[in-house]
Structure 1
């Protein structure tokens, strides 16, 4: 019997500490009009932060719990946890094992996927592959979590974007087609543009690197906008061609939630109306590795996605990585 991955439920967690753009106007008072320009460019008006004593796994936990509760499953029912993030609890061990422990998913294997904001579509496609090829894997919990705010220097300008959050999805084995397929592309020449460049093997953390701020996230060179403006449509067309459907047959599509104007431009390029997408960055900020599952959950909750819809997820992460996947909504 052919096995397919079916989306059973989703979950989402948004922390409680609200940081508005007015708050940031005070913080960045030394940069006149900075916040106004960033708001106009991104569409972001506020973001939400977790308590500073929390780690990424603490943010992932309630999203995972909600997804399991909506699926009517217990943590013990999970066979595999795949967690995507580039703001992990530790360099090692994996954040997924910490989540497994906190969740009580005692029967689950785990691993992390670390391709920044492309992590969730990558993890979703990976989970579908495990389900399709391993009869023992019946239930997979896929989680995206983001806490880059805690890895950002206090007056780092890119801190405007970062909100904390987590999204989760439960995938189960089914005999009817659910998961359709995935696609990926990358541009490694941009790996030095934006990242955390001290604290691992390239440059182990030292007193000097900490004092110089190299253990926090930095944008060293600006990413050209066309990376997403051209890359997202190209990847979507690649996915559609490889999976045998047309762009017109996409019922709903969700992109990395960093800049609303980019999504509008890409939707026009693809010939799709804005009614076929959903954005959350306006009120939730840029939640990186978590933004796609959070937007997916919110769109489902608002009944923008319905049973039978062909849904596409397109993620773009620093490095850069880009990944997409498609599935039918059960």
Structure 2
């Protein structure tokens, strides 16, 4: 009998501190019309921040708990936890192992995936591989989580984008097709454009680097918009070819939630109507590694995705990494 991986449930957590664009207009009063321009170009009107004493694992926990509860499972039922983030609790150990402890998933192995906002589709593909290749792996918890506002210097204009949040999905073994396949691409020449450049082996943290702000997230150089505008359609077409379906066969598609205009351009490029996608950045901000599972969960809650739909998830993260995966919704 063939063995497949399928999504059993999703979960989501949006923290409680609301930061509206009107709040940022006061913060960036020294930059006339800055917030208005950013809102017009991104669609973001609001974002939510976690308490300052929270770590990334604290933010991931309620999303993981909700996903398990909705699947009718207990933490002890989880065989593997895969967590994607680029705002980890620590450089090491992995945030997934901290989540495992806080969740009480005593039977689960864990590891992190660190390809920024491409982490969730990458993690889903990895989870599906573990399930299909290992008969003892029956339940995998996949989490995407983002707490980048704590790693942003006060007054950094890029702080306009960063919202905190977490999303999760439970994948289980099934005898019916669920996960269909994945595709990935990268452009490592852009690795110096955006990141946290002190604190690792390239430049261990020093008093000087901390004072200079190099242990905080920085955009050094703007990414060309064609990276997503051309890269997303390319990886979707690569995915469709790998999985043996045509673009019009896609029933629903979810992208990294950073600029609504980019999603509109790519949907037009693919020949898909906007009714086949969903956006959350307007009210939740850019939630990075968490935005795809959060948007997926919200679309499911709003009944935009139905059983039997062919779903595509497309992630794009700094570095840059891009990944897409396809699933049949149960």
TM-score by length of 1: 1.00
Deviations, residues 287-319 of structure 1 (Å, cap 9, x unaligned): 000000000000001000000000000000000
Matched residue, 1:175? 175
Matched residue, 1:119? 119
Secondary structure of the residue aligned to 2:58 is: helix
Deviation at 1:144, TM superposition (A): 0.1
Q: 2-side partners of 1:37 and 1:102: how far apart?
A: 41
Secondary structure of the residue aligned to 2:326 is: strand
Secondary structure of the residue aligned to 2:124 is: helix
Q: Is 2:310 the counterpart of 1:320?
A: no
Q: 2-side partners of 1:210 and 1:80: how far apart?
A: 36
Matched residue, 1:21? 21
The alignment of Structure 1 onto Structure 2 pairs a total of residues equal to 330
Deviations, residues 73-104 of structure 1 (Å, cap 9, x unaligned): 00000000000000000000000000000000
Q: 1-side partners of 2:269 and 2:61: how far apart?
A: 37
Q: How does 1:1-330 map to 2 (within 5 A)?
A: 1-330=1-330
Secondary structure of the residue aligned to 2:227 is: helix
Q: 1-side partners of 2:208 and 2:151: how far apart?
A: 17
Q: 1-side partners of 2:217 and 2:155: how far apart?
A: 11
Q: CA-atom RMSD, angstroms?
A: 0.3
TM-score by length of 2: 1.00
Structure 1: where are the runs of 5+ without partners?
none
Q: 1-side partners of 2:32 and 2:211: how far apart?
A: 26
Deviation at 1:141, TM superposition (A): 0.1
Q: 2-side partners of 1:158 and 1:318: how far apart?
A: 14
Secondary structure of the residue aligned to 1:185 is: strand
Deviation at 1:207, TM superposition (A): 0.6
Deviation at 1:30, TM superposition (A): 1.0
Structure 2: where are the runs of 5+ without partners?
none
Q: 1-side partners of 2:101 and 2:229: how far apart?
A: 40
